[in-house]
Amino acid sequence: MIVCQCKVVNDAAIAAAVDDGAGTLAQVCAATGAGTDCGGCVRVVKALVVEHDVARARSMDDLRVLTDDKETARAAR
């Protein structure tokens, strides 16, 4: 499914960016180009990033680690 009409970015590209290490919305947008033009797709991109992180977690412990890593990164800024 096309997520960003302006840059023609699909959901697979978003998932691939997350798999390649993009852990924040800004990193996914920078890696894919999605959300960098009109910004109309940013909410969908964010939802896909979160959804992909949750899908990657095999257990609740994995999910806690993903969440803790993001909170630690946010606190470091």
Going along 1-77, which residue ranges are E strands? 2-4, 9-10
The Cα–Cα gap between 8 and 40 comes to 13
Which residues have C-beta within 8 Å of that of residue 63, sequence separation ≥ 6? 53, 54, 57
Task: Give the pLDDT of residue 33.
Answer: 97
pLDDT digit of tens for each residue in the chain (77 aa)?
A: 999 999 999 999 999 999 898 988 999 999 999 999 999 999 999 999 988 876 665 555 655 555 555 544 444 44
State the greatest distance between any 2 C-alpha atoms of the chain, in Å, as a whole number: 37
CB 58 within 8 A of CB 23: no
Task: Give the pLDDT of residue 31.
Answer: 97
